[in-house]
Amino acid sequence: MIRSATPLPDRYRISLRVGFADFGDGRPGSNGYAGGERAEPWWNDDATTQNGFYWLTILDAQPRPHNNTWIHHHRKVVVDSDNNYPPWMEMFDGSRFSLNGEHPIMMFALDGRGAGTEMTGKPFLSYSAGAWQPSGAIRGVDAYLPGEWYRVSIERSDNVYTLEIAGRFRYGGQRTYRASIDAQANCVWHFNRTPAEDASGCLDETGWPSLGAAYPRWPAGQTWPDWFMFGDPHNNYYRGQVLYDDVQLEVWR
């Protein structure tokens, strides 16, 4: 995994080329693993049921290798892929949604208003079919092709995040997917980096059941800088390889 060493500036655009992803296929079989891998001790699951990587994501804490539960609680906005079987997400093929976990590309923000779970964190606000989907709907924007290069970016201007991915896709062909979301209006998880960014409408002073009230989910007065990360941050899931190139960080003056 590659990450920022310091928090990102107030206004930024981080972009990179990503290509030749080989992290399983979301079909019956090994799904890119040697076989028999487990997600223990955090999850008592067969790790081979899902395999993937992060194209690019913005987190609320400095990224480091962790189990996947950790990153589920620290994501703000995400472009990622998780090849899953049996499928637990929906893919948009240009005309309809269907259960399909083969090479999905997810573009999503985390809904700070949603209840979520201790294992998976806050629910998704997925971008698919040209619109932001209802909270909790896990829907891919398209499917990637393993032998292709893509250009991916995330930018932030004030409270608006913009996610973009361009390249040749399974269903949409050669095109660009671009989506913007007002983080304050939609309570994107821990969007507020400074006291000047008003998150009063998003606060949640309750704690997760296993942690209790001493660890509130979104307490008043706390702020969370933006950090970027791409690659495979998990030590209990994912196995494969992907190429990254031409990483750029642009700032406005």
Dist CA 82 CA 21 (whole Å): 11
The DSSP 8-state label assigned to residue 10 in this structure reads: S
pLDDT at 67: 87
pLDDT at 153: 99
pLDDT at 236: 87
pLDDT at 8: 98
Could you say which residues of the chain have pLDDT below 50? none
What's domain 2-251's architecture? Sandwich (2.60)
**Is the pTM of the predicted complex or chain greater than 0.85?**
yes
Q: Where are the chain's structural domains?
A: 2-251
Q: Using CA of residue 131, residue 233, residue 89, residue 92, what is the dihedral sign? A: positive
Q: Residue 10 corresponds to which tokens in the numbers above?
A: 């107030």
Dist CA 156 CA 206 (whole Å): 28
pLDDT at 40: 84
pLDDT at 192: 98
pLDDT at 29: 92
Contact 32, 22 (CB under 8 A): yes
Q: How many CB atoms lie within 10 A of CB 214?
A: 6
| pLDDT tens-digit readout, 110-140 | 999 999 999 899 999 999 999 999 999 999 9
pLDDT at 235: 87
Contact 31, 200 (CB under 8 A): no
pLDDT at 210: 84
User: How many CA atoms lie within 13 Å of 4's alpha carbon, on the beta-carbon side?
Assistant: 21
| pLDDT tens-digit readout, 180-222 | 999 999 999 999 999 999 999 999 999 888 878 778 999 999 9
pLDDT at 209: 86
pLDDT at 215: 82
Which residues are CB-neighbours of 128 under 8 A, at least 6 positions away? 90, 92, 97, 107, 139, 140, 141
Dist CA 239 CA 123 (whole Å): 25
Dist CA 63 CA 236 (whole Å): 16
pLDDT at 55: 99
pLDDT at 86: 96
Mean residue pLDDT across the chain:
95
Dist CA 73 CA 53 (whole Å): 17
